[in-house]
């Protein structure tokens, strides 16, 4: 049975590139070839503009910030346009308390930097080994 595939979604960091490293020529060529037949979508943890820059301004729509941000590539402008950006409020003290409970339970005290990263979107990162 033939499949009607129209969209291919990718993860960037750790899949097509190393964390926050530029997209290499070989992977860019693969994306260019795939884009002739399919709609492409990049999904990542970083902001859409950061991912777009990391990809060398490759023409692709992006879901960023763990799904809290969506941007579309505008071919006429040759740039990315953020279409949706969600933000939620966070009880920072409560989140730090919860991180402390986890660190105590699993003896995760050997880390550098902050016990919790707070992102502008409201998303959190619990860095087991640290932020520095």
Same domain, 56 and 108: no
Tell how strand 39-43 and strand 69-74 pair up. Answer: unpaired
What gap in Å lies between CA 119 and CA 57, rounded to an integer?
A: 23
Identify whether residues 113 and 56 lie together within a single domain. no
Task: Over range 108-114, report the average pLDDT.
Answer: 91
Q: State the Cα–Cα distance between residues 58 and 125, nearest whole angstrom.
A: 27
Confirm whether 132 is domain-assigned.
Answer: no
- pLDDT for 2 equals 60
Residue 33 sits in which domain range?
A: 7-85
CB 116 within 8 A of CB 99: yes
Banded model confidence at residue 15, pLDDT cuts 50, 70, 90: confident
Share of the chain above pLDDT 90, in %: 70
pTM: 0.79
Is residue 1 over pLDDT 80? Answer: no
Same structural domain, 76 and 16: yes
């Amino acid at each position: 049975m033939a499949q009607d595939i129209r969209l291919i979604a990718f993860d960037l960091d750790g899949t097509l590139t190393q964390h926050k490293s530029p997209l290499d020529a070989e992977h860019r060529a693969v994306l260019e070839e795939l884009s002739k037949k399919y709609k492409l979508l990049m999904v990542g943890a970083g902001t859409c503009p950061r991912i777009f820059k990391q990809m060398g301004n490759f023409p692709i729509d992006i879901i960023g910030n763990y799904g809290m941000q969506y941007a579309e590539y505008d071919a006429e402008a040759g740039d990315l346009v953020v279409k949706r950006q969600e933000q939620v409020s966070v009880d920072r003290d409560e989140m730090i308390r919860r991180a402390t409970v986890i660190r105590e339970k699993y003896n995760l005290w050997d880390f550098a930097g902050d016990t919790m990263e707070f992102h502008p979107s409201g998303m959190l990162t619990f860095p087991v080994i640290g932020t520095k």
